[in-house]
Amino acid sequence: MLDGELSKFFDIEQGVPQGCTLSPTLFQVFINDLLEVVEAVRKGVKVGDTETSVSGMLFADDFVGMSDTPEGLQLQIDAAKKFTDKWRLSANVQKSAVMVCNENKEEPVEHRWKWGIEEIAVVDQYTYLGVEIAKDCSWNAHMSKVAEKGKARAGKLHPILANRHLDTRIKLTVLKSVIVPPLEYAGEVWEGNKKVVKELEAAQMKAAKTILGCSRRTSNAAVRAELGIQSLRSGRDARKLTWQYRMCGMGEERLPRIVWEAKWANKKRGRQPTEWVKVVEDVWKGLDIDEDEPLETEGPKVFKEKTSVACAERRTESKERIQG
């Protein structure tokens, strides 16, 4: 329809009409084969000490290819390019990038990758599904990003949080549903950098104290108790345990479980990075719960509630011991 008038009927020789409900289904039919094409190159990355090799990951239209050699990655790119050309699909090269992880600083990779004749940018960090992935495989970049995002939201919402005519319950809902989520994003998998962790906690506490209209020197524990909230660290710990519980219920062929149970060799000199498994072990050690019992017997809902309470109580008890 144009200017209130219906046009003549015409044939659609390629694609589907805008808004057509068939579009998502057709997209799935085509995009799923892309992963198979890249895997057929057989240049993926081996998962620890297992026989599993990962060539790529696909979520909706976000695709990531991975290889342990520069040449292998280019072969994957060429295979993907051939696939898109065959089915008349287009890739946004400007939004694509290559990142070399754990690069040897003494022998940096000089390779340049191309999508056809277009060179693909090489970056030090890349945002994938909202998570900032850095070439040194640390979580510092992601933590700094979520800290800035949380503080920015708290700043924009300050007039609401400081409004004395607004019910505290409404302001608390704003805190929990708008400010805290970016501070916790992907908290199941990341931890570290005590400086940024403190910034995250400070962002939440500043907003919480604004809600109550109290001094910055007011005890954080008292503010949490008054509002019925927990520290971000307690929330992350509980979410890590819940994610571990979910992986326990996965089939042995599922990639998350394979990665979790794999043994990883130390390849870097000097101080070794802390593994996720070790972080979770430390969380369990700090709780008054036998790890094996809830992982094997509790249902998902009961497990989540039990570990959330235990993590919150542990942080409170630890704070009281320090102050005592």
211-269 pLDDT tens trace: 999 998 999 999 999 999 999 999 999 999 999 999 999 999 999 999 999 988 766 55
Q: How confident is the model at residue 68 (pLDDT cuts 50, 70, 90)?
A: very high
Higher pLDDT, 5 or 71: 71
State percent of the chain over pLDDT 70.
Answer: 91
Contacts (Cβ under 8 Å, ≥6 apart) of 247: 254, 256, 257, 260
E strand or H helix that includes residue 295: helix 292-297
State percent of the chain over pLDDT 90.
Answer: 59
Higher pLDDT, 207 or 103: 207
Q: Taking residues 34-60, what's their average pLDDT?
A: 92
CA–CA distance, 79 with 296 (Å, rounded to integer): 43
The ranges assigned to domains in the chain are 23-134, 140-229, 230-252+277-310
Q: Please, are residues 190 and 134 in contact by the beta-carbon 8 Å criterion?
A: no
